A and B are shown apart, each in its own frame.
Chain A
């Protein structure tokens, strides 16, 4: 045995130095303490005042000791559990672990048969969830769209009701308001076996968004309070746009966006000390020519990597962004932008990377993009898995045994390791020209489409409990009644 032997067991990078991160942290604390944020929610203002914040009308300033205390209370490591007890689908949050999944709320969807762009509908939800369930490198589920063919207030509820039975991977649930959140929670705890059982093994994550610049809205805080009260792991994630709703510089947008997340952190930890909390966001640039928030810009990956560093510096997990594109279709641009941001997310170790499968700058969800990105994530994970250096992997004895002009294909060493040392592609083609020609000269797109169709035709997710099915029917019926009254 060697003492004090240093091991880099995986490939990760940190972009910013401790000195730079201390500067960013100072900036965030300054904003929270001196500039303050607007909080449009009476109950939250009371909670903040009681916790020690300075409340002046809607403007709330938080002394730095209180922010630090809240950071201290939130855990860095915790687990989100699969609904069916399959531990392979659990998400273990902690240093050096990057997870991936789709995003929510695109108005459009790429039709699975025609591949045309059209509004996202209710029947798309189970298909997205099944894809998530089947793809080996997708870890959590969101729906990739806002359901268009139900009452518009009930889209989020129908989404959850459609996803939950079709994947046992944890869902990240968004909602319009706390009524939605309550319905979603009723379904989730039914499967978990009640509120107590849920608190011990939470099976989903609640997602809400503050508004940039520097505003916490009433709906966002309603949902945050619901989640914190019920001990649902929480994401509080702004979507600031550099040059539009945030400073144009990467350091500036990180500072402002972190302050927006941490307002939610302080409220959440005041209600429920120790609540798992993700800071996060989609931090990218406004394209000054196209006037869109770019989901394919290199600045997205850059800003998200800087934000990841800050989150980990203060001991919080990060809600990351990647696998998305500004491209309108399944083309080279979509694959370049998606793959590079996925690789960057994997390298930065951001804890949950969402928006995998977004196209057209988050306007259109695509399971084809999702399926292709599963391949890019697998590829990236092989690299971040790193190089293991042991006597066994050094293989000096094996090399000695084979000697000059021998070969390794018959060696036990090869047989022992070739499956774990290599990553094998599902979609990328490595066959020789003749075999590729014989197989019909299929492109990456052809193979991706075939895989999507095969998964949807054959994959069978673990079913939910019969009693949970009943709860879903009840929750939806009650919600339909509620909107009838309005």
Chain B
């Protein structure tokens, strides 16, 4: 049995989505639980990806392949996990704030978070505070992630947080922010719960935010 966990972890490290799909199905058939496959296989692989990326031994295109493989595994496991009532990492509502048309960085963070085991609700770009509020009400996420690429639009993140407070939703969710001009100081100033400097650290942050909750 340890062999399949090891192969899952290796499959994640090497970014082999098809192999992960096969292995997960085989594991389930053999009677292993979804939670075991996730905890002892997929997450072990993803954790190692994080370590290697931080050390400079893995690069973003490889990390994305690993994230894709993780997502492939989760597609099969998530419904089973939900059904069994297992505790999930939860949802993240993600969007680039109002006035900002930059989409790619936020999508990368979304992929990485998906790879870390979250379910992503991607609102796209130029998202006004009202849309964020409606999405929170509808999806009940653990986290709201906001992105801005421009110094002129980053202030909209503060405005959105304010709107969440006014709608009485701020206490229900953690807020994380990111984007080229954003730093920790700004993140603290607008009352966000955390800031990630790049896509993998965004996913890392998301995990910390839910485990702290």
A407 touches B108 (CB 8 A): yes
Residue of B nearest to A433 (CB): B183
Q: Please, what's the 1-or-0 string for A429-473, where 1 marks a CB less than 8 Å from any CB in chain B?
A: 000111100000000000000000000000000000000000000
A434 touches B61 (CB 8 A): no
Within residues 385 to 432 of chain A, which ones have a CB less than 8 A from any CB in chain B? 405-407, 409-410, 414-415, 418-419, 432
Task: List the B side residues contacting A419 at CB < 8 Å.
Answer: 59
What separation, in Å, do the CA atoms of A418 and B63 have in the docked complex? 13
Q: Is B147 an interface residue (CB 8 A)?
A: no
B65, B103, B184: the one contacting A405 at CB < 8 Å is B103
What separation, in Å, do the CA atoms of A405 and B62 have in the docked complex? 21
What separation, in Å, do the CA atoms of A418 and B62 have in the docked complex? 10
Residue of A nearest to B101 (CB): A405
CB distance from B157 to the nearest CB of A (A): 18
Task: List the A side residues contacting B68 at CB < 8 Å.
Answer: 410
A406, A409, A432, A434: the one contacting B64 at CB < 8 Å is A409
Task: List the B side residues contacting A414 at CB < 8 Å.
Answer: 61
CB distance from A401 to the nearest CB of B (A): 15
A409, A418, A434, A435: the one contacting B108 at CB < 8 Å is A409
Q: Is B153 an interface residue (CB 8 A)?
A: no
Task: List the A side residues contacting B197 at CB < 8 Å.
Answer: 432, 434-435
Task: List the B side residues contacting A433 at CB < 8 Å.
Answer: 183
CB distance from A90 to the nearest CB of B (A): 28
What separation, in Å, do the CA atoms of A418 and B65 have in the docked complex? 14
Chain A: residues with Cβ within 8 Å of the partner, total of 13
What separation, in Å, do the CA atoms of A410 and B183 have in the docked complex? 27
What separation, in Å, do the CA atoms of A433 and B182 have in the docked complex? 12
B59, B64, B103: the one contacting A410 at CB < 8 Å is B64
B198 touches A432 (CB 8 A): yes
B61 touches A418 (CB 8 A): yes
Residue of B nearest to A435 (CB): B197
Q: Is B210 an interface residue (CB 8 A)?
A: no
Indicate whether A407 sits within 8 Å of B183 (C-beta atoms), given known contacts A415-B61, A432-B197.
no
A409 touches B60 (CB 8 A): yes
Q: Is B107 an interface residue (CB 8 A)?
A: yes
Q: Please, what's the 1-or-0 string for A282-312, where 1 marks a CB less than 8 Å from any CB in chain B?
A: 0000000000000000000000000000000
Task: List the A side residues contacting B108 at CB < 8 Å.
Answer: 407, 409
Task: List the A side residues contacting B62 at CB < 8 Å.
Answer: 415
Task: List the A side residues contacting B64 at CB < 8 Å.
Answer: 409-410
CB distance from A432 to the nearest CB of B (A): 5
What separation, in Å, do the CA atoms of A410 and B67 have in the docked complex? 11
What separation, in Å, do the CA atoms of A485 and B90 have in the docked complex? 86
What separation, in Å, do the CA atoms of A433 and B103 have in the docked complex? 24
CB distance from B99 to the nearest CB of A (A): 16
Q: Please, what's the 1-or-0 string for B178-210, where 1 marks a CB less than 8 Å from any CB in chain A?
A: 000001100000000000011000000000000
CB distance from B43 to the nearest CB of A (A): 22
Residue of A nearest to B67 (CB): A410
Task: List the A side residues contacting B59 at CB < 8 Å.
Answer: 418-419
A415 touches B65 (CB 8 A): yes
Within residues 15 to 64 of chain B, which ones have a CB less than 8 A from any CB in chain A? 59-62, 64
A407 touches B107 (CB 8 A): yes
Q: Is B80 an interface residue (CB 8 A)?
A: no
Residue of A nearest to B65 (CB): A415
What separation, in Å, do the CA atoms of A433 and B68 have in the docked complex? 29
What separation, in Å, do the CA atoms of A419 and B57 have in the docked complex? 12
Indicate whether A407 sits within 8 Å of B61 (C-beta atoms), given known contacts A432-B198, A435-B197.
no
Residue of A nearest to B62 (CB): A415
What separation, in Å, do the CA atoms of A245 and B132 have in the docked complex? 78
What separation, in Å, do the CA atoms of A243 and B186 have in the docked complex? 60
Task: List the A side residues contacting B88 at CB < 8 Å.
Answer: none
Task: List the B side residues contacting A410 at CB < 8 Å.
Answer: 61, 64, 68
A434 touches B183 (CB 8 A): yes
What separation, in Å, do the CA atoms of A415 and B197 have in the docked complex? 23
CB distance from B196 to the nearest CB of A (A): 10
Q: Is B169 an interface residue (CB 8 A)?
A: no
CB distance from A447 to the nearest CB of B (A): 12
CB distance from A423 to the nearest CB of B (A): 13
CB distance from A69 to the nearest CB of B (A): 55
B61 touches A409 (CB 8 A): yes
Q: Please, what's the 1-or-0 string for B107-130, where 1 marks a CB less than 8 Å from any CB in chain A?
A: 110000000000000000000000
* Closest CB pairs A-B (n = 7): A407-B104, A432-B197, A415-B61, A414-B61, A409-B64, A434-B197, A409-B61
9 contacts between A and B (CB under 8 A): A405-B104, A406-B104, A409-B61, A414-B61, A415-B61, A415-B65, A418-B61, A434-B183, A434-B197
**Residues of chain B having any CB pair with chain A under 8 Å:** 59-62, 64-65, 68, 103-104, 107-108, 183-184, 197-198
Known: A407-B107, A418-B59. 10 other contacts (CB 8 A): A405-B104, A407-B104, A409-B60, A409-B61, A409-B108, A415-B61, A415-B62, A432-B198, A434-B183, A435-B197
